[in-house]
Amino acid sequence: MFKQSTLVSFMAAAAVALLGTPAAHAQVIKIDGSSTVYPITEAVAEDFQKAKKNAIKVTVGISGTGGGFKKFCRGESDLQNASRPILAKEMADCKAAGVEYIEMPVAYDALTVVINPKNAFIKEMTVSELKTLWEPAAQGKVTKWNQVNPAWPEAPIKLFGAGADSGTFDYFTEAIVEKAKSSRGDYTASEDDNVLVQGVSRDVNAIGYFGYAYYAENMARLKGVPIVNPKTGKAVEPSGANVENGTYVPLSRPIFVYVNAKSLAKPEVNEFIDYYMKHADKLIREVKYVPLPKAAYDGNLKHVKEMKTGTVMGGKNEVGITVEELMKREAKM
Amino acid sequence: MQPLTTDEIRIVIAKGKFRDNLFKAVGIFCLAFALLVIVALIADMVIKGAERFTLDFFLNFASRRAAQAGILSAWVGSLLVMLVTALAAVPLGVAAGLYLEEYAKRNWLTNLIEINITNLAAVPSIVYGLLALGIFVYQFGFGQSILSAGLTLALLILPIIIVSTREAIRAIPAMIREGSMAVGATRWQTCRYHIIPYAMPGILTGVIIGLARAIGETAPIITIGALTFIAFLPPLPFTAAEGGATAGLFDWVMSPFTVMPIQIFNWTSRPDPAFEVNAAAAGFVLMAMVLSMNAVAIYLRYKMRKRIKW
């Protein structure tokens, strides 16, 4: 009986200790959202914590852009990584919960169309060729390369692409098929881009698409397809330089970080954003993404200081938009 | 029927022996196949991850540079989550199993409960994650903490512990119970001094099997919101905390965390192939954790069995 009573008192003590603690974690900056933006934010968080000698703690989760916005609009995270702009429905959710936010474009991501290095017949592709290949009508019909371009051999096509829950899929379909989430379904889909890298690198007749960083890290095993710029008619290689000079269209897109306006009352969140924008250029290059011009980061800091809440994107994906255009626009809630 | 000649008997015996040996060979082949798979798996991880097996790997936090990235927050997180899981699931599971075997009346209700517990063991783990997200994270307000994760995994392994407790109790001969009762012991005294000690080795096996399953679980932990980048540890009891306060004895249970399987998953899905080395090394560490848990269980079982004298 003695043992039982000690157990009971131990459990009571545990309960008291549990209930008495919830306010202990004031100094943690919570970030969640897209896996595409994750490497950048992780690099910033890592260096920021070191610079602050671990006095400020940062946590970064990967819930995906959509899953992250759900948490963000409930006020559960301070910052939200987003590989696409906030959508109309998410704007409504945030509004309903009284969450105001400031939108900050942080980098470019270039969707890269890749083929096997042994593939000798594809030198470049046009948007309409990609559309022929990927539109829903192609399902089960377009299966040989010569159906896309008569100059190409009669070889079977092996398709690899992003899973339907990713922001990459949303943007690619919007840019190529001109309708978000509209794609053929008979291809190997994976949320894990390394699966796609493996697939394309093992099959001569394969073609796939994913974020530029995965291509940049695996150039020995993959070939990036130059995409014909619809305005100039010239084929443009996927490369950091071509994204920066604005010729790699329509497959380059800005990616964003959103900050909850209420979180800006916390000095540590302000410090973090300041650090993010000041070190973005160096860190983004290091993780193989394409940084924005310096003016964009200065603009972000200015927006944060002036509490310019809302989005300039109008609640939808937009193809071929430049960051200069973004910075000029007026944000709306 | 003619009696068999000596030669015919020899043939019959030889045939029997041949079949005997044939089955032995098939058995050895099956065993070798299973062993080969696990040896290949371990060897693959060791060879790929060899260059990361340094002290730094265990003492460093996650990093964007593969060579500097370590598993400190992941292994500490995994151990603490397992601690909460064991503290919650073992008393609940053992008590429930004991009640069902020793106290409950045999009727349709008990049968219904039994069937449901067995079925619970087959529910996909993600479903427990969704349940826990609603109940622990939001309803009880535990947030995305070690406590939520530990309780979630406790729910997951509860059926395993209940079932193995009952099997261990059922294996105890009825004469033990009868003997105890015959000298005037109450039912509780019988359980306390006979049933539980004798069933302990079996219960322990169930607990370890449950924990070994729980430590590799990813889906329910991701559902309740474990983090991917976290470069600090939960507060140690009685050390200085933020704002000059002292961390309480149980502050760590409310801390954000990550666990080994999530760290491994994150490393395999990164653009830079150098992280595959980290993933292999971390995979080996996770496997070593499971193996050493099993080793502890085997040792304890051996010690306890020696004490039982029927």
Q: Which of A111-120, A297-306, A316-325, B185-194 has the lowest mean pLDDT?
A: A316-325
Work out the mean pLDDT of chain B and round it to a whole number.
90
Across the interface, whether the CB atoms of A217 and B271 are under 8 A apart is answered: yes
Give the model confidence (pLDDT) of B105-146 as tens digits. 889 999 999 999 989 888 999 999 999 999 999 899 898 899
Residue A199 has a pLDDT of 93
Select the residue from B239, B269, B277, B278 to test the A interface by mutation, using most A Cβ atoms within 10 A.
Answer: B269
What's residue A20's pLDDT?
43
CB contact under 8 A, B230 and A42: no
- ipTM for this prediction: 0.77
CA–CA separation, A130 vs A208, rounded Å? 11
- Least confident window among A42-56, A305-319, B115-129: A305-319
Question: Of B232, B250, B268, which has the smallest distance from its Cβ to A54's Cβ?
Answer: B232
The answer to whether residue A13 scores a pLDDT higher than 70 is no
Instruction: Give the one of A46, A59, A211 whose C-beta lies nearest to B64's C-beta.
Output: A46
Angle of helix B108-120 relative to helix B146-170, nearest 10 degrees, comes to 130
The residue type at A211: G
Residues of chain B with pLDDT > 90, as a percent, come to 62
**CA atoms of A112 and A149, how far apart (whole Å):** 20
pLDDT exceeds 70 at position A153: yes
Nearest to B177 by CA among B157, B199, B156, B161: B199
Which structural domains are found in chain A, ordered by start? 17-108+255-332 (3.40.190.10), 112-244 (3.40.190.10)
The pLDDT value recorded for residue A166 is 78
Cβ proximity of A36 and A167 under 8 Å: yes
Average pLDDT over residues A66-80: 92
CB contact under 8 Å between A39 and B271, yes or no, is yes
Placement of tokens 């269209």 in the chain: A249
User: What is the distance, to the nearest Å, from the Cα of residue B29 to the centroid of all Cα atoms in its chain?
Assistant: 28
Phi and psi, residue B233, nearest 5°? -100, 160
What residues of A are in contact with residue B250 (Cβ under 8 Å)? 14, 17-18, 21
Tokens 């560490």 sit at which residue?
B285
User: What pLDDT is stored for residue B227 in this prediction?
Assistant: 84
DSSP output for A146-206: GGT-TTS-S-B-EEEEE-TTSHHHHHHHHHHTSSTT---S-SEEESSHHHHHHHHHH-TTE
Distance separating alpha carbons of residues A52 and A50, to the nearest angstrom: 5
Percent of residues, chain A, with pLDDT higher than 90:
58
Q: Which tokens in the block code for residue A253?
A: 């897109």
* 0.90 surpassed by pTM: no
Q: How far apart are CA B233 and CA A144, in angstroms?
A: 54
Residue with tokens 């089960």: A140
Within 13 Å of residue A175, how many CA atoms lie on the same side as its CB? 27
Closest partner residue to B225 (CB to CB) among A41, A46, A61 is: A61
CB B203 within 8 A of CB B165: yes
Quick one: residue A210, left, alpha or beta (phi over 0 = left, psi -120 to 50 = alpha)? beta
Q: Are strands A158-162 and A188-190 parallel, antiparallel or unpaired?
A: parallel
Q: Which two tokens stand for residue A51?
A: 């610079």
- B253 to chain A: closest CA residue: A18
Question: Does B242 contact A27 at a Cβ distance shorter than 8 Å?
Answer: yes
Across the interface, of A38, A57, A213, the residue whose CB is closest to B228 is A38
Statement: residue A78 has pLDDT above 80? yes
pLDDT in tens, A234-269: 999 999 889 888 899 899 888 999 999 999 999 999
- Judged by a CB distance cut-off of 8 A, whether residue A288 touches chain B is yes
CB contact under 8 A, A35 and B269: yes
CA distance B105 to chain A (A): 26
User: Which value, to the nearest 10 degrees, does the dihedral of the CA atoms of residues B45, B46, B51, B52 take?
Assistant: 70
- Residues on chain B touching A43 (C-beta within 8 angstroms): 64
Please choose, from the candidates B29, B46, B61, B15, the residue with its C-alpha nearest in 3D space to the C-alpha of residue B229.
B61
Disruptive mutation site among B64, B87, B224 for chain A (greatest number of A CBs within 10 Å): B64
Task: Tell me which chain A residues have a C-beta less than 8 angstroms from the C-beta of B235.
Answer: 24
In which element (H, E) is residue A107 found? strand A101-115
Q: Do A46 and B227 touch (CB under 8 A)?
A: no
Chain B neighbours among A 194-233 (CB < 8 Å)?
194, 211, 213-214, 216-218
Q: Taking all residues of chain A, what is their mean pLDDT, rounded to a whole number?
A: 87
For an interface test with B, which of A2, A16, A25, A48 has the most B Cβ atoms less than 10 Å from its Cβ?
A25
Candidates A20, A42, A194; nearest CB to B248: A20
Helix H or strand E encompassing A113: strand A101-115
Mean pLDDT of A118-132: 94
Nearest chain B residue (CA) to A220 = B273
Among B55, B224, B211, B259, CA closest to B141: B224
Chain B partners of A194 at a C-beta cutoff of 8 Å? 268-271
> What residue of A is the nearest CA neighbor of B226?
A61
Q: Which of A9-23, A145-159, B35-49, B182-196 has the lowest mean pLDDT?
A: A9-23
Residue closest to A229 by CA, chosen among A202, A252, A254, A247: A247
> Does position B37 have pLDDT exceeding 90, yes or no?
yes
Query: What pLDDT, on the 0 to 100 scale, is given for residue B241?
Result: 61
SS3 B143: coil
Whether the per-residue pLDDT at A272 is higher than 80: the answer is yes
Greater pLDDT, A219 or A316 = A219
- pLDDT exceeds 60 at position A10: no
pLDDT at A220: 92
User: Quick one: DSSP state of residue B155?
Assistant: H
Would an 8 Å CB–CB cutoff place A22 in contact with chain B? yes
Q: Looking at A157-166, A313-322, B220-229, B296-305, which range is the least confident one?
A: A313-322
Task: Give the pLDDT band (50/70/90) at residue A1.
Answer: very low
* Cα separation, B209 vs B294, whole angstroms: 8
Is the pLDDT reported for residue B300 higher than 90?
no
B78-104 pLDDT, tens digit each: 999 999 999 999 999 999 999 999 999
pLDDT band, very low/low/confident/very high, at B242 (cuts 50, 70, 90): low
Cα separation, B55 vs A273, whole angstroms: 34
Closest CB to A61: pick one of B228, B242, B268.
Answer: B228
